[in-house]
Amino acid sequence: MSSVRELFIILISSSLVSNVVLSQFLGLCPFLGVSRKTNTAAGMGAAVIFVITLASAVAGVIYKFVLTPLHLEYLQTIVFILVIAALVQFVEMFLRKAIPALYEALGVYLPLITTNCAVLGVALTNVQKKYGILTGVVNGFATAVGFTIAIVILAGIREKIEFNDIPKPFRGMPIVLLTAGLMAIAFCGFSGLL
């Protein structure tokens, strides 16, 4: 059983110090594509939190109780992709019924969670670091929270940038990439927390 201290370190490390987007560069498609407005970014973050946390739990259970006893560990990537795809379908159906405005705002990026390398990366990291189910879920949740923090901050900055006079060569994606790079440098400051 993991100690509370170990879980807290994983929580801080996965969300801030080793931010999935800003230090590992996983999940850049939705990070750059959905970060135009803060409400849309927050909605995407909430969907990613749900999917990654649940995928970490389900993948951990399947790995521990199905793949390992049957010596089928080599199938982990395929199984994890299927689990993630099923969870994203569930989120998509839920949002379409419950919050149609958010469903429309997320557009093509919602199905892209299926192929979001951050989601699969967390499931594989949990296995590679030999995390238990609880530790893996905490790691997944913290990673998703880190993704949400990063995407909401970028969306807020992008909303403010719209009102600035930016030189023509930097307009659009160049200024967004420059901003993301500066955010990555700023997040390096969190490494002193651990």
pLDDT tens by residue, 76-87:
999 999 988 888
In angstroms, the Cα distances linking 19 to 33, 124, 165, 168 are: 18, 16, 30, 31
Give the side-chain half-sphere CA count within 13 A for 17.
12
Confidence at residue 185, expressed as pLDDT on a 0 to 100 scale:
94
**Alpha helices (H) along 34-132:** 38-62, 76-98, 100-106, 117-128
Would you place residue 88 in the very low, low, confident or very high pLDDT band (cuts 50, 70, 90)? confident
CB 146 within 8 A of CB 16: yes
Confidence at residue 175, expressed as pLDDT on a 0 to 100 scale:
94
pLDDT tens by residue, 113-171:
777 788 999 999 999 999 999 999 999 999 999 999 999 999 999 999 988 889 999 98
Confidence at residue 127, expressed as pLDDT on a 0 to 100 scale:
93
Backbone angles phi, psi at 24, to 5 degrees: -100, -15
Sign of the torsion angle spanned by Cα atoms 146, 52, 142, 121: negative
pLDDT at 91 over 90: no
Mean pLDDT of 85-100: 88
List CB contacts of 109: < 8 A, sequence separation 6 or more.
Answer: 29, 30, 33, 34, 44
Give the side-chain half-sphere CA count within 13 A for 3.
3
What does the buried/exposed string (b/e) look like for 101-127 if buried means 16 or more CB atoms within 10 Å of the residue's CB?
A: ebbebbeebbebbbebebbbbbbebbb
Would you place residue 2 in the very low, low, confident or very high pLDDT band (cuts 50, 70, 90)? low
Confidence at residue 1, expressed as pLDDT on a 0 to 100 scale:
55
Identify the residue with better confidence: 15 or 103.
15
Among 22, 26, 35, residue whose Cα is nearest residue 125: 26
Q: What is the DSSP letter of 190?
A: G
Confidence at residue 111, expressed as pLDDT on a 0 to 100 scale:
79
Lowest model confidence (mean pLDDT) among 20-24, 69-73, 92-96, 182-186? 92-96
Give the side-chain half-sphere CA count within 13 A for 22.
33
